[in-house]
Chains A and B, each alone.
Chain A
Amino acid sequence: MAQHKRPTAQAGSTVERTGADLRVSLSGDWSSSNAEACESEAERILAASTGARAVALDLGAIVRLDTLGVWVISRLCHEVRQRGGSARLDQVQPTHRILFEEIQYRPLPDTRRKGDYIAIDLLADIGKAMVDSYRDLVSGISFLGAFVSSLAVILTGRSRFRIASLVAQLERVALRSVPIIILISVLVGGIIAQQSVFQMRAFGTVHFVADLLGVLVLRELAVLITSIMIAGRTGSSFTAELGSMKMREEIDALRTMGRDPVEILVVPRIVALLIGMPLLTFISSMAMLVGGGLVTVIYGGVSPEIFLSRLQNGIGVNTFVVGMVKAPFMALVIGVIACIEGFAVQGSAESLGTRTTASVVKAIFMVIVVDGLFAMFFATIRY
Chain B
Amino acid sequence: MDAPETVHIPPLEPGRKPVIQVRDLEVRFGEKVIMNGLDLDVYKGEILGFVGASGTGKSVLMRTVLGLIRQSRGQIVVFDKDLDQLTPRRRQSIERRWGVLFQHGALFSSLTVRQNIQMPMREYLHMSERLMDEMAALKIDLVGLKPDAADKYPSELSGGMIKRAALARALALDPEILFLDEPTSGLDPIGAQDFDDLIGTLQRTLGLTVFMVTHDLDSLAGVCDRIAALADGKVIAAGPIETMMASEHPWLKAYFHGSRARRDSLETGHFRSSQRT
Is A67 engaged at the interface, CB distance under 8 Å to the other chain? Answer: yes
B138 interface neighbour in A1, A95, A103, A348, Cβ under 8 Å = A103
Contact with B along A350-361 (1 / 0, CB 8 A): 110000000000
Is B265 engaged at the interface, CB distance under 8 Å to the other chain? Answer: no
Interface majority SS on A: helix, strand, loop or mixed? helix
Q: Which residues of B contact A349 (CB under 8 A)?
A: 108-110
Interface with B: A30-38, A206-214, A294-302, which one?
A30-38
Most buried by B among A3, A75, A347: A347
Q: Which residues of A contact B19 (CB under 8 A)?
A: 4
Residue pair B127, A71 in contact (C-beta under 8 Å): no
Closest to B8 in A: A1
**Cα(A103)–Cα(B205), bound, Å:** 9
A348 interface neighbour in B110, B128, B142, B201, Cβ under 8 Å = B110
Size bracket of the B interface: 35 or more
Is A112 engaged at the interface, CB distance under 8 Å to the other chain? Answer: yes
Residue pair A67, B206 in contact (C-beta under 8 Å): yes
Nearest CB of chain A from residue B151's CB, rounded to whole Å: 6
Interface with A: B23-31, B129-137, B256-264, which one?
B129-137
* CB within 8 Å of A: which B29-72 residues: 44
Residue pair B174, A111 in contact (C-beta under 8 Å): no
Residue pair A347, B153 in contact (C-beta under 8 Å): yes
**Cα(A66)–Cα(B172), bound, Å:** 11
Is A39 engaged at the interface, CB distance under 8 Å to the other chain? Answer: yes
Q: Which residues of B contact A199 (CB under 8 A)?
A: none
Size bracket of the A interface: 20 to 34
Residue pair B137, A36 in contact (C-beta under 8 Å): no
Residue pair A348, B174 in contact (C-beta under 8 Å): no
Is B213 engaged at the interface, CB distance under 8 Å to the other chain? Answer: no
Residue pair B174, A346 in contact (C-beta under 8 Å): no
**Cα(A321)–Cα(B233), bound, Å:** 68
Residue pair A35, B147 in contact (C-beta under 8 Å): no
Is B204 engaged at the interface, CB distance under 8 Å to the other chain? Answer: yes
Is A72 engaged at the interface, CB distance under 8 Å to the other chain? Answer: yes
Is A109 engaged at the interface, CB distance under 8 Å to the other chain? Answer: yes
**Cα(A113)–Cα(B153), bound, Å:** 13
Summed over the interface, the residue pairs from A and B with CB atoms below 8 Å come to a total of 86
Is A275 engaged at the interface, CB distance under 8 Å to the other chain? Answer: no
Nearest CB of chain A from residue B12's CB, rounded to whole Å: 16
Q: Which residues of A contact B8 (CB under 8 A)?
A: 1
Is A108 engaged at the interface, CB distance under 8 Å to the other chain? Answer: yes
Is A245 engaged at the interface, CB distance under 8 Å to the other chain? Answer: no
Is B91 engaged at the interface, CB distance under 8 Å to the other chain? Answer: no
Residue pair B205, A1 in contact (C-beta under 8 Å): no
Contact with A along B154-171 (1 / 0, CB 8 A): 111000000000000001
Is B89 engaged at the interface, CB distance under 8 Å to the other chain? Answer: no
Is B251 engaged at the interface, CB distance under 8 Å to the other chain? Answer: no
**Cα(A346)–Cα(B201), bound, Å:** 36
Is B79 engaged at the interface, CB distance under 8 Å to the other chain? Answer: yes
* CB within 8 Å of B: which A2-21 residues: 3-4
Residue pair B138, A67 in contact (C-beta under 8 Å): yes
Residue pair A32, B154 in contact (C-beta under 8 Å): no
**Cα(A99)–Cα(B207), bound, Å:** 9
Is B148 engaged at the interface, CB distance under 8 Å to the other chain? Answer: yes
Most buried by B among A67, A72, A102, A112: A67
Is B231 engaged at the interface, CB distance under 8 Å to the other chain? Answer: no
Is A163 engaged at the interface, CB distance under 8 Å to the other chain? Answer: no
Residue pair A102, B174 in contact (C-beta under 8 Å): no
**Cα(A72)–Cα(B204), bound, Å:** 21
**Cα(A346)–Cα(B206), bound, Å:** 37
Residue pair B154, A347 in contact (C-beta under 8 Å): yes
Contact with B along A125-156 (1 / 0, CB 8 A): 00000000000000000000000000000000
Is B276 engaged at the interface, CB distance under 8 Å to the other chain? Answer: no
Q: Which residues of B contact A1 (CB under 8 A)?
A: 8, 17, 80
In the complex with contacts A4-B80, A67-B174, A347-B154, A98-B147 CB distance below 8 A: no
Is A68 engaged at the interface, CB distance under 8 Å to the other chain? Answer: yes
Is B101 engaged at the interface, CB distance under 8 Å to the other chain? Answer: no
Is B150 engaged at the interface, CB distance under 8 Å to the other chain? Answer: yes
**Cα(A71)–Cα(B135), bound, Å:** 8
Is B173 engaged at the interface, CB distance under 8 Å to the other chain? Answer: yes
Residue pair A67, B128 in contact (C-beta under 8 Å): no
Closest to A104 in B: B138
Closest to B205 in A: A102
A108 interface neighbour in B127, B137, B151, Cβ under 8 Å = B137
In the complex with contacts A32-B173, A32-B174, A346-B150 CB distance below 8 A: no
Closest to A33 in B: B125
Residue pair B174, A108 in contact (C-beta under 8 Å): no
Closest to B155 in A: A347
In the complex with contacts A66-B174, A111-B148, A35-B80 CB distance below 8 A: no
A36-B126, A68-B131, A348-B109 given; 18 more Cβ-contact pairs under 8 Å? A4-B19, A31-B174, A35-B127, A66-B174, A67-B135, A67-B138, A67-B142, A71-B131, A102-B142, A109-B147, A111-B148, A112-B150, A346-B155, A347-B155, A347-B156, A348-B110, A348-B155, A349-B110
Question: What are 24 A-B contacts with C-beta separation under 8 Å?
Answer: A3-B17, A3-B44, A4-B19, A4-B80, A33-B124, A35-B125, A36-B125, A36-B126, A36-B127, A39-B131, A67-B135, A67-B139, A67-B171, A98-B205, A99-B206, A108-B134, A111-B148, A112-B150, A346-B155, A347-B156, A348-B154, A348-B155, A349-B108, A349-B110
Q: Give the A-binding residues of B (Cβ under 8 A).
A: 8, 17, 19, 44, 79-80, 96, 108-110, 121, 124-128, 131, 133-135, 137-139, 142, 147-148, 150-151, 153-156, 171, 173-174, 201, 204-207
User: Nearest 6 pairs between A and B by C-beta?
Assistant: A347-B155, A350-B110, A348-B109, A35-B127, A66-B174, A36-B126
